[in-house]
Amino acid sequence: MDVVIAGAHGKVGLRLGRLLAERGDRVRGLIRNPGHERELRDAGLDPVVCDLEDGACDPVAAIEGADAVVFAAGAGSGSGADRKWTVDYAGAAKLIVAARAQGVRRYVIVSAMGAASPPAGDEGFAVYLRAKARADEELQRSGLDWTVVRPGRLTDDVGTGQVHTAERLQRGDRVRGLIRNPGHERELRDAGLDPVVCDLEDGACDPVAAIEGADAVVFAAGAGSGSGADRKWTVDYAGAAKLIVAARAQGVRRYVIVSAMGAASPPAGDEGFAVYLRAKARADEELQRSGLDWTVVRPGRLTDDVGTGQVHTAERLQRGDISRDDVAATLLAVLDEPATIGTTFDLVAGDVPIRDAVAAAGRGG
């Protein structure tokens, strides 16, 4: 595939370009500054000096022969309001025109979380979001095969992720574990999993490739209680949403998501747990509309207690606790119970054997 990335010297653009180049794609990187050419070449990209704010730049010529365009450019946080419009909006708009002219159907834009409902006012970030929103809207009306990706605040943080898979491994299933931190690979291997380093917050992660050949996907990731509001959206929501897209692309029908009790009616407000529940709710809704064979499991407060093998499931429950062991065992039972496809249920500790409780949930009981 021949891909053109505008903003190829930025963190997301350069990482994406390197990933594409490593798998054998030709990648052209549009840059403003000729001083960045060597860095792009070292990463395996073909640099094209084409400043989208400069009338001398011909974006139609720059993308000739491409199969896809990715607009990852931005004026940057230190720029004034005018450059939000000339780069974040007009740069994207010019490439839309160029893509149509060249017959390039595929166009992916890196927008920003908040661009769906941008605020009024002259404050820099408000102007930035309005410029992003306008570019998104123009792309959505373009008739191209478009995708708008709206990340939260971009960071280079690392984190952890664990899932209990012992029972599934004991019966011979292959389990791949997606992790952010390569330092956790050995721990997963020792547990019998095949680790796949794929940070769903990082544009360099290709979830489509990560799940190739899978029969089912389980989304059990979360930003964690110590994270800020942005990461609830980039992990708990967007991570799940990206895997939905990947599952469709790979033809993986079965998708189970670990949500949270309370996500059925999430509260308003900026308090961390409220934001967490809204992010979970949005992920659940997106999965439920996906056309996949989905199940939404909403556990109560998680504990590190030893599992009892007994739980209580229902469409709605009062608050309660449940061990991570019993959540994992419930997920296994869900994967084995076709009747749970298309169901959403709350989960807490109880007195019903897990497989019986899951079967009842599948019957709507």
Write out the DSSP string of 86-112: IIIIHHHHHHHHHHHHHT--EEEEE--
What backbone phi and psi angles, to 5 degrees, belong to 236?
-65, -35
Domain assignment of residue 276, yes or no: yes
Q: Is 276 a catalytic residue?
A: yes
- What is the domain range of residue 15? 2-149
Q: Which of 23-37, 123-137, 220-234 has the lowest mean pLDDT?
A: 220-234
Q: Which of 117, 149, 181 is the last residue of a domain?
A: 149
- Reported as a pLDDT band with limits 50, 70 and 90, residue 123 is confident
Structure token pair of residue 141:
């009306």
For residue 95, pLDDT beyond 80: yes
Q: Are residues 135 and 170 in the same domain?
A: no
Q: Which residue in the list 107, 128, 255, 276 is annotated as catalytic?
A: 276
Torsion of CA 355, 359, 360, 364, to 10 degrees: 150
Structural domain total, the chain = 2
- Average pLDDT of the residues of the chain: 88
Structural domain includes residue 156: no
350 and 239 housed in the same domain:
yes
In this prediction the pTM is: 0.57
Which phi-psi region, left, alpha or beta, contains residue 114 (left: φ > 0; alpha: ψ -120 to 50)?
left
Percentage of the residues of the chain whose pLDDT score is greater than 90? 53
Round to whole Å and give the CA distance between 147 and 242: 11
Query: pLDDT confidence of 162, banded at 50, 70, 90?
Result: very low
Q: How far is it, in rounded angstroms, from Cα 165 to Cα 122?
A: 51
Residues 301 and 276 in one domain: yes
Question: How far is the C-alpha of 45 from the C-alpha of 346, rounded, in Å?
Answer: 48
* Burial category of 8 from C-beta neighbours within 10 Å (exposed 0-12, middle 13-18, buried 19 and up): buried
Does pLDDT of 361 surpass 80?
yes
Round to whole Å and give the CA distance between 105 and 15: 23
Does a structural domain hold residue 158? no
